Amino acid sequence: MYAPKFAITNRILKSVGEIEAAKEVIENAPLVPYYEKQFRTDAIARTVHHGTHIEGNDLSLLETKKILEGIEVVAHERDIQEVINYRNVTKLLDELAVKRGGYDSDMLLDIHRETVNKIVAPEKVGVFRQTQVVIKEENTGRIILAPPQATEVPAYIDNFLEWLNSAEARELHPILRAGIAHYILVSIHPFVEGNGRTVRAFANLILNREGYDIKRFFSLEEHFDNDLASYYEAFAGVDNQSSNV
Give the model's confidence band at 129: pLDDT under 50 very low, under 70 low, under 90 confident, else very high. very high
Mean pLDDT for 48-68 is 97
Q: Is 84 exposed, middle or buried (0-12, 13-18, 19+ CB in 10 A)?
A: middle
Mean pLDDT for 35-58 is 95
Whether 189 is a known active-site residue: answer yes
* pTM higher than the cut 0.75: yes
At residue 245, the pLDDT reads 56
Q: By mean pLDDT, which of 71-85, 86-100, 122-136 is the weakest?
A: 122-136
Residue 244 lies in a domain: no
Residue 243 lies in a domain: no
Residue 3 lies in a domain: no
Intra-chain end-to-end CA distance of the chain, in Å? 16
Kindly report the CATH number assigned to the domain that includes residue 82: 1.10.3290.10
Tell me: the pLDDT tens digits for 159-189? 999 999 999 999 999 999 999 999 999 999 9
Residue 241 lies in a domain: no
- Distance between CA atoms of residues 85 and 218, nearest Å: 19
Tell me: the pLDDT tens digits for 202-211? 999 999 999 9
Tell me: the pLDDT tens digits for 139-165? 677 777 789 999 999 999 999 999 999
Write down the catalytic residue from 49, 53, 182, 189: 189
At residue 31, the pLDDT reads 86
Q: Which domain holds residue 196?
A: 10-236
Mean pLDDT for 54-59 is 96
Task: Identify whether the C-beta of residue 83 lies closer than 8 Å to the C-beta of residue 48.
Answer: yes
Which amino acid, residue 103? Y
Task: Judge whether residue 234 has pLDDT over 90.
Answer: no
Residue 242 lies in a domain: no
Residue 189 lies in a domain: yes
How many structural domains are present in the chain? 1
Residue 14 lies in a domain: yes
What is the 3-class SS of 125-173, one letter each residue?
A: CCCCCCCCCCEECCCCCCEEECCCCHHHHHHHHHHHHHHHCCHHHHCCC
Give the model's confidence band at 1: pLDDT under 50 very low, under 70 low, under 90 confident, else very high. confident
